Amino acid sequence: MKKAKHKYPVGTEVKFKYFDGSIHVGVVIKQTYQGDSWDHLETDYKQPLYTMQVPDRHDSRGFMLYPSVGPHRIIESNGITNKEYAFTKKNVFGGSTRKKSKAITNKFNDTTSELDDAISRQQDFINGKNKR
């Protein structure tokens, strides 16, 4: 069986919609195929999948992993990134090196920063720092 090619290489910054409907901006850290890690299923090489790493200041690691993202869930791509959250596989699972690549600017609107700002304003209001 001929394997389908992965459209997005490791290190590519993408905006994607996860299964729960949330939209994230992150980086591809792993390429796999449907059923690749299941012993009881045959691997479907016609369905490429990606594992995404998304920065998250609420997580102790500083990022969240989103596995099994299909290419149909990727909204747009911003090319190879050098963002500080773009770790190599070794780092994600215990190493310390970061992915080296060319510099680019982020063209995506980061909805998490808007949410974080709104939460911060609400917390300030509750704590009496802001009086409407």
Q: What is the pTM of this model?
A: 0.60
Where do the domains of the chain lie? 12-126
Q: Are 27 and 53 in contact (CB under 8 A)?
A: yes
Percent of the chain exceeding pLDDT 70 equals 70
For 98-124, write each residue's pLDDT tens digit: 444 444 445 555 555 677 778 888 888
- Contact at 8 Å (CB) between 63 and 19? no
